[in-house]
Amino acid sequence: MKRYKKIVHLVPLEAGRFKFAYIFCLILIFGLFGRLVNLQVFSSSDLQKKARLIQLTKISTLNRRRSIVDRNNRLIAYDKPLYKLWAHPKYFNFPGDATTRLRSIDEVVNKLLPILNVKDEILLSKFANKMTGIELMDEITENQARKIKNLHISGLDLVKYSQRYYPQRNLYSNLIGFVNYENKGSAGLELHLDNQIKVVNKSNLVKKGGDGTPLPDNSGPRDFINDYKRLGLTIDSRLQKASFHSLSKQVIKWGAKKGFAIVMNVNNGEILSLVSIPSYDPNKYWEYDSEIFKGWYSQDLFEPGSTFKPINLALALQEKVIKKDGFVEDNGKINVGGWTLSNWDKRGNGYIDYPKVLQVSSNVGMVKIMKNLPPKTYWNWLNKLGISKSLETDLFESTAGQLKSKDIFVSQPIEPAVASFGKGFSISPLKLAQLHAVLANGGSEVIPHVTVNFKDHLRNNSQKEIFSNEVSKIVLEWMESVVNNGSGVGAKIDGYRIGGKTGTSQKAINGRYTKKKACSFVATFPINNPKYVVLVIVDEPSKAYAYGSTVAVPVAKEIIESLIVIEKIPPQIENNKIIVKKP
């Protein structure tokens, strides 16, 4: 079958239709061009703002603080993530509901009750006819928050925040301090080392494309990396706990106002334990008087009394005004510049050697010994020891001690006389511990500190040599005799060589001495290779027969016993013979 092709006759386009198409295309082109000009020129700034709102996602950063751990990485303080629950009743809607359906407050509350474990009337009372912006609860745990999120209820918002928590409670309170409701350091290390503890995030914006793909920006490679650093302390929690319980028991027993105990490594200044009583629970700081928050062991001053006698003997030896095997006559009292000074028991001890001076804590003996040292030289030594200077440490701001001016000290004989047995000047307990550490380590100055990274500071500061090694060794042997045969005998532990010195110092108020006392004991251990100094001070015991030997010595002994176990320190004496280890 033959197929025929259809012939189409071309007809010229009408001039009117062609003109219409031409004009329409022209208008379209000009319209697009005008739209382009409007977007690129007149609306560019508005469009840029809209683009930024879409592209930049704000990352909500928490006001976080670094954890604090002891030398064995036991947690002392850390941030606990919690949530606040907000409600907006005008948006209440359950999964699967029509978008127009509005659920009642009662329905939402019934869903929340099993999770929050509160009474329904407590939650219902929060609403009070409000329809938005209602804070229902705070301190919601992560587990509770997860369960609330799984409900997928519209109109409920969870806001994450960080709360500081102290798992050891009052064990570290006077050292660590606390942060307030705004998460700001308010006492202790939390305040003093705030810049080392708080976490500062450099950036909190992420740039993304429309599909969520991250876009290049100016953020640094570490801007969004979580901070996992910790503030490490030199403290051992086991020793801290043992010291705390021993001191607490004694403060209660003697009805004392307060107490302090410290264990420090004499070779590098590391503090292994530092406790003070009374203490408080930093998780509930608002329940306590603000006076208790002060670190009085570095901020309050006291006259060290007889615990300073070994330091004075070291000065006399260093200046060669006495000899190791010398004697002094103790008549029980002595007149200096019109003042009568006496021993604590008003009794004389006759001719005694220098170890005996420490054993019986002879004030008269010390006055006669230190009279051999010219007052000007004596004052220069006290000044060199830093009596009137504040300690540069990572603890609280240390209060500078008080020392009479050089003119007064030199011109009035009573001043060097009373200074010989630790009176007439004042220092902080922490300063006293430092001076005994210097004596114990062979004469080199060390800085008491509790943070591990403080050693970086120490590397940049050369240590001062104060006493010769020979002088230190002699005085330590004399201190050992105090524990073996003197007022410190209560600190004696079979098999171990311990040196010490007791102190019972009357407290001066408004320039006059009162019946109030500060009972103290300082120990160096072990004497053959000194590594630790232990200082115990019990302030204002209220019962009779309160002395350094009866109040402070028992605490020090218990602390040393704990230290022996924790540090696994072997005995130095067997069958009354000193053990000498071969190098």
Over residues 370-382, the pLDDT tens digits come to 999 999 999 999 9
Q: Which CATH architecture has domain 67-214?
A: Alpha-Beta Complex (3.90)
What local confidence, expressed as pLDDT, does residue 208 receive? 53
Tokens coding 285: 């700081």
Query: Cα 460 from chain centroid?
Result: 22
What local confidence, expressed as pLDDT, does residue 154 receive? 86
What local confidence, expressed as pLDDT, does residue 223 receive? 47
Return d(Cα 149, Cα 131) in angstroms, integer.
Answer: 20
Predicted confidence (pLDDT) at residue 273 exceeds the cutoff of 90: yes
Predicted confidence (pLDDT) at residue 270 exceeds the cutoff of 50: yes
Quickly state the pLDDT bin for 235 (edges 50, 70, 90): very high
Q: Which CATH architecture has domain 237-578?
A: 3-Layer(aba) Sandwich (3.40)
Give, in order, the Cα–Cα distances in Å from 206 to each of 63, 224, 318, 405. 19, 9, 67, 63
What local confidence, expressed as pLDDT, does residue 263 receive? 97
Predicted confidence (pLDDT) at residue 583 exceeds the cutoff of 60: no
Over residues 392-403, the pLDDT tens digits come to 888 877 889 999
R_g (Cα) of the chain, nearest Å = 38
Quickly state the pLDDT bin for 211 (edges 50, 70, 90): very low
What local confidence, expressed as pLDDT, does residue 225 receive? 46
Quickly state the pLDDT bin for 525 (edges 50, 70, 90): very high
Relative orientation angle of helices 237-253 and 553-567, to the nearest 10 degrees: 160
CB 313 within 8 A of CB 369: yes
Q: What is the percent of the chain where pLDDT is above 70?
A: 86
What local confidence, expressed as pLDDT, does residue 221 receive? 47
Q: For residue 249, which amino acid is it?
A: K
Predicted confidence (pLDDT) at residue 216 exceeds the cutoff of 60: no
Over residues 177-205, the pLDDT tens digits come to 999 888 888 888 989 888 888 876 555 55
Predicted confidence (pLDDT) at residue 59 exceeds the cutoff of 70: no
Over residues 145-163, the pLDDT tens digits come to 888 888 888 888 888 888 8
| Residue 161 phi, psi (nearest 5) | -145, 170
Return d(Cα 177, Cα 579) in angstroms, integer.
Answer: 44
Considering only 417-421, 510-514, 565-569, which range has the smallest mean pLDDT? Answer: 510-514
Residues 6+ apart with CB under 8 A from 515: 506
Kind of pairing, strands 573-574 and 271-277?
unpaired
Return d(Cα 475, Cα 245) in angstroms, integer.
Answer: 31
Query: Which residues are identified as catalytic?
Result: 306
What local confidence, expressed as pLDDT, does residue 224 receive? 45
| Residue 342 phi, psi (nearest 5) | -140, 170
Return d(Cα 444, Cα 541) in angstroms, integer.
Answer: 34
Per-residue pLDDT averaged across 194-221, rounded? 59
Considering only 46-60, 143-157, 176-190, 334-348, which range has the smallest mean pLDDT? Answer: 46-60
Return d(Cα 296, Cα 279) in angstroms, integer.
Answer: 12
What local confidence, expressed as pLDDT, does residue 109 receive? 81
Return d(Cα 103, Cα 117) in angstroms, integer.
Answer: 22
Predicted confidence (pLDDT) at residue 207 exceeds the cutoff of 60: no
What local confidence, expressed as pLDDT, does residue 540 receive? 92
What local confidence, expressed as pLDDT, does residue 9 receive? 67
Residues 6+ apart with CB under 8 A from 58: 204, 205
Predicted confidence (pLDDT) at residue 219 exceeds the cutoff of 60: no
Give the helix ranges, DSSP H, for 319-467: 354-359, 363-370, 375-384, 406-411, 414-419, 429-440, 454-459
Quickly state the pLDDT bin for 249 (edges 50, 70, 90): very high
Quickly state the pLDDT bin for 353 (edges 50, 70, 90): very high
Predicted confidence (pLDDT) at residue 578 exceeds the cutoff of 90: no
CB 184 within 8 A of CB 283: no
Over residues 256-267, the pLDDT tens digits come to 999 999 999 999
Residues 6+ apart with CB under 8 A from 531: 265, 266, 267, 525
What local confidence, expressed as pLDDT, does residue 259 receive? 94
Q: Nearest CA to 277 among 298, 250, 301?
A: 250
More confident residue, 77 or 459: 77
* Per-residue burial over 198-214, b = 16 or more CB atoms within 10 Å of its CB, e = otherwise: bbeeeeeebeeeeeeee
Over residues 276-321, the pLDDT tens digits come to 999 999 999 999 988 898 888 888 899 999 999 999 999 999 999 9
Average pLDDT across the chain, whole number: 85
Residue recorded with tokens 């009743």:
89
Quickly state the pLDDT bin for 558 (edges 50, 70, 90): very high
3-state SS assignment for residue 509? strand
Give the helix ranges, DSSP H, for 96-158: 105-116, 120-127, 142-151
Tokens coding 171: 């064990």
**CATH 3.40.710.10 spans which residues of the chain?**
237-578
What local confidence, expressed as pLDDT, does residue 213 receive? 47
Considering only 77-86, 198-207, 433-442, which range has the smallest mean pLDDT? Answer: 198-207
**CATH 3.90.1310.10 spans which residues of the chain?**
67-214
Predicted confidence (pLDDT) at residue 425 exceeds the cutoff of 70: yes
